């Protein structure tokens, strides 16, 4: 404290009192967030008790990660501490999500022994913004239904709801699945396969088809296939006839077989697995074995 009875502190004394460095205090002063109240006869900056309290607030805000621009607005009364804190929480949340994705990418790279090129692609796709990831999926679904007016509304709604995104804290497996899924849905050949499935569905629709039946139908076949496999019934066995006919009735087996084959190839099965993994449900939802049993049973009936 200078000996002039004013109680003012030099920058060195202020640094000693607060535990901050002279360099830090001088920098904040130069940036206009801590203005000295006076100058000594020798031109040195002088600070009062209010400056010391202001300095503690600046230090707290900086330790919480706020930039000097926000600190300056708070000190000027342009924004409240609560407003700045709320905005900073949102920014921190975004940073945390990005860091978690980065961690998952690096874990995946380490586990798989990925090359530099694979790592670059994986990081690029995984770190797309949520909006960009949604856009990839929405464009894919939009192309599937473009120009089709007779698709079962339940199926269309279900497909439009699958614009899956990475969770806030993805596992390496979910990052792997998302990257593969993003590449798959942008592949023209795969889009053509999915379009064929949707067109089959549209062709089946008519005034007598209840909404949701087209989605229910393959699900019921898969359920029956699972039950048949559990009972050890082979697709070509006579017992399989009753299982197939339970749903088909007197329908055209060849036509149903064509649709089931379109919907049960390996890439579509992999697509369902990836969706399930990204959603955190595991790969079991692909129903590979169940679809295979149903297709084999239909082939046996159609051939006979």
The residues spanned by each domain of the chain are 9-76, 104-303
103-134 pLDDT per residue, tens? 777 777 777 777 777 777 777 777 777 777 77
Q: What is the pLDDT of residue 235?
A: 87
Q: What is the pLDDT of residue 212?
A: 40
Q: What's CA 50's distance to the chain center, in Å?
A: 48
Q: With cut-offs at 50, 70 and 90, classify the pLDDT of residue 24.
A: very high
201-236 pLDDT per residue, tens? 666 554 444 444 444 466 677 788 888 888 999 988
Q: How is residue 170 annotated by DSSP?
A: -
DSSP of 201-227, one letter per residue?
HHHH--TTSPTTHHHHHHHHHHHHHHH
Cβ neighbours, 10 Å, residue 32: 11
Q: What's CA 54's distance to the chain center, in Å?
A: 42
Number of residues written out for the chain = 304
As a whole number, mean pLDDT of residues 10-20 equals: 89
Query: Using alpha carbons only, what angle is made at residue 77 by residues 75 and 81, rounded to the nearest 5 degrees?
Result: 70
List 45's β-bridge partners, or say none: 39
The token pair at 192 is 């053509």
Residues 56 and 210: their CA atoms lie apart, in Å, by 69
Query: Using alpha carbons only, what angle is made at residue 32 by residues 26 and 37, rounded to the nearest 5 degrees?
Result: 75
Phi, psi dihedral angles at 232 (to 5 degrees):
75, 25
Q: Does domain 9-76 have CATH number 1.20.120.1200?
A: no
Three-class SS state of 10: strand
Cβ neighbours, 10 Å, residue 88: 16
Residues 32 and 72: their CA atoms lie apart, in Å, by 8
pLDDT surpasses 60 at 33? yes
Cβ neighbours, 10 Å, residue 288: 15
Q: With cut-offs at 50, 70 and 90, classify the pLDDT of residue 195.
A: confident
Q: What is the pLDDT of residue 218?
A: 62
Q: What is the pLDDT of residue 95?
A: 75
Burial of 61 (0-12, 13-18, 19+ CB in 10 A): buried
């Amino acid at each position: 404290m200078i000996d002039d009875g004013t109680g003012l502190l030099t920058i060195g004394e202020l640094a000693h009192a607060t535990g901050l460095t002279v360099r830090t205090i001088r920098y904040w002063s130069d940036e206009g967030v801590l203005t000295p109240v006076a100058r000594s006869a020798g031109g040195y900056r002088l600070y009062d008790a209010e400056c010391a309290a202001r300095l503690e607030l600046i230090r707290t805000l900086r330790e919480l990660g706020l930039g000097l621009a926000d600190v300056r607005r708070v000190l000027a009364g342009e924004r409240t501490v609560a407003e700045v804190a709320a905005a900073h929480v949102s920014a921190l949340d975004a940073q945390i999500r990005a860091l978690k994705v980065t961690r998952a990418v690096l874990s995946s790279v380490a586990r798989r022994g990925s090359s530099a090129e694979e790592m670059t692609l994986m990081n690029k796709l995984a770190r797309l913004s949520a909006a960009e990831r949604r856009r990839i999926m929405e464009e894919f679904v939009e192309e599937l239904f473009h120009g089709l007016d007779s698709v079962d509304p339940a199926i269309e709604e279900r497909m439009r709801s699958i614009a899956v995104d990475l969770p806030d804290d993805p596992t390496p497996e979910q990052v792997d699945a998302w990257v593969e899924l993003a590449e798959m849905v942008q592949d023209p050949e795969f889009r053509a396969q999915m379009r064929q499935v949707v067109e089959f569905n549209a062709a089946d629709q008519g005034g007598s088809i209840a909404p949701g039946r087209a989605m229910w139908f393959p699900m019921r076949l898969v359920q029956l296939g699972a039950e048949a496999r559990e009972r050890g019934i082979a697709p070509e066995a006579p017992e399989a006839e009753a299982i197939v006919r339970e749903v088909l009735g007197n329908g055209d087996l060849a036509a149903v077989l064509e649709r089931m084959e379109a919907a049960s190839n390996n890439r579509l099965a992999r697509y369902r697995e990836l969706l399930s993994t990204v959603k955190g449900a595991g790969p079991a939802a692909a129903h590979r074995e169940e679809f295979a049993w149903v297709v084999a049973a239909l082939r046996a009936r159609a051939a006979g």
